[in-house]
Structure 1
Amino acid sequence: MPYAPPKACKCGALVPYGRRCPRCAKAHDKARGTAHQRGYDGDWKRVRAEFIKTNPVCDEPGCGRAAIDADHIVSVREAPHRRLDPTNLRPYCHAHHSERTRRDQGGPRPRG
């Protein structure tokens, strides 16, 4: 079975295809801050819970799975004032939310 060769990270380490460099991931996680520091606090948890209760199905066409995550349509980075605005949210199952986040943030494609 063919496989993709490892890629060279910016730091020079060889990393298996589709994985994050362990050295750089630690630096990225520190720079990113905690969920609470990024605005996902008690207020967010309450808005999210109410939104999922009123929008229980994933918004991805044809999915039909239970919504577990509330995705910001316009990112919190771009519009921090809309962080708790339910009209700026859409319901996603975890798989579709992860895929959307990966696409928006330019992460590696999942293997499979």
Structure 2
Amino acid sequence: MSRPPRLCSCGRVVPHGTRCACQIASSRARNARHDAKRPTATQRGYNSEWRAARAEHLALHPCCALCSAPANVVDHIIPHRGDKALFWDRNNWQSLCTSCHSRHKQRHEHRA
């Protein structure tokens, strides 16, 4: 059984499970404003030194800390928020798969 369409705040009827074009445009504009203010990855410390340390960490800890799948992200357990000491503290690193990092970790950080 399919679910009925819904009415968007802009007045358009939208099929269940999809986003209205106005919502997509609004999200893109909001993300663009956020990205324009955000420093680049290199400016935030993710340079060649980080990439080498990341590769070494993933070689030593190849499985996701949350689900045991192959890991491809080195995550800071406590967000460093620009603190270089916390950024480089290897005890604050964990290996995560992309799915767990995107889902669980990001949800946790947005709540904080």
Match of 1:75 among 74, 79, 85: 79
Other structure's SS at 1:98 match = helix
Deviations 1:1-38, CA, capped at 9 Å, x for gaps: 25666569xxxxx415xx96111211100111211111
* Larger proportion of helix: 2
**Could you say which residue in structure 1 is the equivalent of 2:49?**
43
**Structure 1: unaligned runs, 5 residues or longer:** 9-13, 107-112
Aligned residue type for 2:40 = T
TM-score (norm 2): 0.72
Structure number with greater Rg is 2
- Aligned in 2, Cα 1:82/1:2: closer, same or farther, shift over 3 Å? farther
1:29 matched to 2:35: yes
> 1:1-112 maps to which residues of 2 (within 5 A)?
1-2=3-4, 6=8, 14-15=22-23, 21-60=27-66, 63-77=67-81, 79-99=83-103, 100-105=105-110
Identity %: 29
In the TM superposition, residue 78 of structure 1 has moved relative to its aligned partner by 6.5
Deviations 1:63-95, CA, capped at 9 Å, x for gaps: 221011011011120643121221110110110
TM-score (norm 1): 0.72
- Aligned in 2, Cα 1:6/1:43: closer, same or farther, shift over 3 Å? farther
**Structure 2: unaligned runs, 5 residues or longer:** 11-21
CA RMSD of aligned residues (A): 2.7
Aligned residue type for 1:15 = Q
